[in-house]
Amino acid sequence: MVKELKAEVKKLNFYYGRVQALKEINLPIERRKVSALIGPSGCGKTTFLRCFNRMHDLYPHNRYEGEIILHPDNVNIISPQMDPIEVRMQISMVFQKPNPFPKSIYENVAYGLRVRGVSKREVLDEKVEKSLRGAVLWDEVKDRLNHLAFDLSGGQQQRLCIARALATNPRILLFDEPTSALDPTATLKIEELIVELKNEVTIIIVTHNMQQAARVSDYTAFMYLGEIVEYDKTDRIFTAPSNKLTEEYITGRFG
Amino acid sequence: MKRKLTRKIKEGAIETILFLSALSSVFITISIVVVLSYESFGFFKEVPLIEFLTGREWTPLFAEPKFGILPLISGTLLITSIALIVALPLGLTAAVYLSEYAPHRLKEIIKPILELLAAVPTVVYGYFALLFLTPILQKFIPDLSGFNALSPGIIMGIMIIPYVSSVSEDAMRAVPMHIREGSYAMGATKLQTAFKVVIPSAFSGIAAAFIIGISRAIGETMVVAIAAGGMPNLTANPLEPVQTLTAYIVAVSLGDVPHGTIEYKTIFAAGMTLFLMTLVFNIIGFWLRKRIREAY
Ligand SMILES: Nc1ncnc2c1ncn2[C@@H]1O[C@H](COP(=O)(O)OP(=O)(O)O)[C@@H](O)[C@H]1O
Ligand SMILES: [Mg+2]
């Protein structure tokens, strides 16, 4: 199979005010693969991930430099001319802590569609079911779609957030340590789901859990102090890293 | 050793003082309830409860007195409703603006100004309604009488905006940022996020703010006493003069009704009714506020 790129990060710099958090990042994002970002706490993984859906635009004094080219349209999603809302319409995100809205299960999943002006019941019904099936949650909630989302367990809430993110057919799905607030069983379910989902959507996942990166990802980038130290196929990174720092990190000597 | 002893005495004394002042407020509250109940009990010995609750006329000072509380309740509810129609949407809009939109600097200016609305003496509002707003309204509504429910209702609404907005704003600001981010990440605009996610998340707090506004409106006296006209009137027409429970109480208290007469006791019967009405709203508000804390 030919490799196909979904996105390309070129010379990305990012600044929180005067503090530079990302330095000269270059990275290819393979289409319909899982790319993992690993590295010690504070190295800039979250900061990098949040560039892809322009989350930094919500806060003042943040600044991007460089390009993140989205294929096949070939547009730079971090250029000032690009509307952040337009970007978020195409690139969805699942957060570290499950953050369902104070609405029913159904309305949580339908949220992105409603925001886009979809209100036809049949369309919504179909999309909600499809997304909940996609997130392997349908069987657990199909009889109580109008219950409040807070009634679900933490793991179910996170899968609900995944369903919510899937409902709008995103081109890239971002995960920021999606299992850090979950127990091992719920974690396993989410990991299986991520592997399943890559058949349909390109995935970038941040994790500080190296076993998780090894289990779910096809490619891995190791970050340190705001830079990408090494990027390769996941099995290579974990068996034969070419950089000394990477090796020290994955063997648990720091981080 | 000696230092330790003096400190212990000091601490003990302070604790006792604090306890006594807490106790005194409880004691005062209980005595108010006892006096209210005792005096209204005396009233109900002379006037049957059924007449009080169902009678359609309230004329205790007439030669042939009638003791139906309904006109005062309807007056209270009418003016309160008008006030809420003004205060709830404006208060909520102000809260959304302050919590979600206003840049920090501007907020620092707007908030004190809003709070100033609550600091103006209510007498001033009363005369403002009577001498300024009513004449203006009469230009548009020729049927409006000089004393009416509409004008003090509107002014009272403006008066309670800060109560509604500041509590609502606190509730909205307490909504964690990651909930908002979830909405933005789905491609929502700021307006959509504010109305579809932040307001529902802050629902119990906003409801509590509304309850505070309602209690404040029901309990307000001066504005109505001055601008609504002192006529108990069983009506839903805001253009007519009305009297509220509070306005009746001041009106009678200011006159010289002899202690112990039935006229005197009506003050307490009306007071008891008012007390029960605000109590109900406060209990609802308390319950709602307890629920916010459980939500996050
Ligand atoms: N809002 C912010 N303002 C300023 N500095 C920040 C902000 N968020 C993160 N940082 C800094 O940027 C660096 C990268 O943080 P982050 O991307 O959260 O790391 P990671 O997700 O890898 O743990 C850290 O040094 C952190 O202190
Ligand atoms: Mg992080």
Residue B200 Cα, ligand 1 centroid: separation in angstroms? 30
Please state the φ and ψ torsions of residue A222, each to the nearest 5 degrees: -100, 125
Q: How would residue B5 be classed by pLDDT, with cut points 50, 70 and 90?
A: confident
pLDDT, position A216: 96
Q: What single-letter amino acid sits at B99?
A: S
Domain boundaries, chain A: 5-250
* DSSP three-state, residue B196: helix
Q: How would residue A187 be classed by pLDDT, with cut points 50, 70 and 90?
A: very high
Beta bridge partners of A228: A223
Which of A14, A15, A16 has the most ligand 1 atoms within 8 A of CB, as the residue to mutate? A16
Q: Name chain B contacts of A83, Cβ cutoff 8 Å.
A: none
pLDDT, position A2: 54
Q: A46 in ligand 1 pocket by Cβ < 6 Å?
A: yes
Sign of CA dihedral B68, B69, B72, B77: negative
Rounded CA separation A145/A197 (Å): 23
Residue A20 Cα, ligand 1 centroid: separation in angstroms? 10
pLDDT, position A255: 63
Q: Is the peptide bond before B238 cis (omega within 30 degrees of 0)?
A: no
- Segment B221-243, tens digit of pLDDT: 889 999 998 889 999 999 999 99
Please state the φ and ψ torsions of residue A177, each to the nearest 5 degrees: 40, 60
Segment (H or E) for B76: helix B70-96
Q: A61-70, A228-237, B201-210: which has the minimum mean pLDDT?
A: B201-210
| CB within 8 Å of B179: residues ≥ 6 apart | A99, A101, B197, B198, B201
Overall average pLDDT of the A152-175 stretch: 96
pLDDT, position B156: 95
Look at residue B294 and tell me whether its pLDDT is greater than 60.
no
Report which protein residue has its CA nearest ligand 1's atom 5: A16
pLDDT, position B185: 97
Q: CA of A192 to nearest chain B CA: how many angstroms apart?
A: 23
Overall average pLDDT of the A202-206 stretch: 97
Q: Name chain A contacts of B207, Cβ cutoff 8 Å.
A: none
Q: CA of B188 to nearest chain A CA: how many angstroms apart?
A: 6
CA angle, residues A29, A31, A37, in degrees to nearest 5: 35
pLDDT, position B63: 85
- The answer to whether the beta carbons of residues B204 and B168 sit under 8 Å apart is no
Look at residue A242 and tell me whether its pLDDT is greater than 80.
yes
Which of A41, A47, A208 has the most ligand 1 atoms within 8 A of CB, as the residue to mutate? A47
pLDDT, position B293: 57
- Segment A207-224, tens digit of pLDDT: 989 999 999 999 999 999
Overall average pLDDT of the B182-203 stretch: 95
Please provide the size of chain A in residues.
255
CATH (one of 1.10.357.10, 3.90.600.10, 3.40.50.300, 3.20.20.70) for A5-250:
3.40.50.300
Q: What single-letter amino acid sits at B72?
A: L
Q: Name chain A contacts of B192, Cβ cutoff 8 Å.
A: 115
pLDDT, position A35: 97
Q: How would residue B28 be classed by pLDDT, with cut points 50, 70 and 90?
A: very high
Question: Given the structure tokens 């112990």, which residue do they identify?
Answer: B260
* DSSP three-state, residue B109: helix
* DSSP three-state, residue B60: coil
* DSSP three-state, residue B274: helix
- Between A11 and B264, whose confidence is greater? A11
Q: Name chain A contacts of B201, Cβ cutoff 8 Å.
A: 101-102
- The answer to whether the beta carbons of residues A219 and A30 sit under 8 Å apart is yes
Beta bridge partners of B58: B67
For residue B191, the chain A residue with the least C-alpha distance is A115
Among B199, B154, B195, residue whose Cα is nearest residue B174:
B199
pLDDT, position B118: 84
- The answer to whether the beta carbons of residues A94 and A158 sit under 8 Å apart is yes
Report which protein residue has its CA nearest ligand 1's atom 18: A46
Overall average pLDDT of the B186-205 stretch: 94
Among A48, A30, A55, residue whose Cα is nearest residue A172:
A30
Look at residue B68 and tell me whether its pLDDT is greater than 80.
yes
pLDDT, position A254: 72
Contact B200 A103 (CB under 8 A): yes
Rounded CA separation B153/A228 (Å): 65
Q: How would residue A144 be classed by pLDDT, with cut points 50, 70 and 90?
A: very high
Residue A87 Cα, ligand 2 centroid: separation in angstroms? 21
Look at residue A49 and tell me whether its pLDDT is greater than 90.
yes
Write out the residues of chain A at the interface with chain B, using a CB-CB cutoff of 8 A. Answer: 53, 55, 58, 85, 88-89, 92-93, 95, 97, 99-103, 111-112, 114-116, 161, 164-165, 168
- Segment B133-182, tens digit of pLDDT: 999 999 999 999 999 999 999 999 999 999 999 999 999 999 999 999 99
CB atoms within 10 A of CB A226: 21
Enter the DSSP assignment of A208: S
Residue A209 Cα, ligand 1 centroid: separation in angstroms? 18
Overall average pLDDT of the A114-142 stretch: 95
**Across all residues in chain A, what is the average pLDDT?**
94
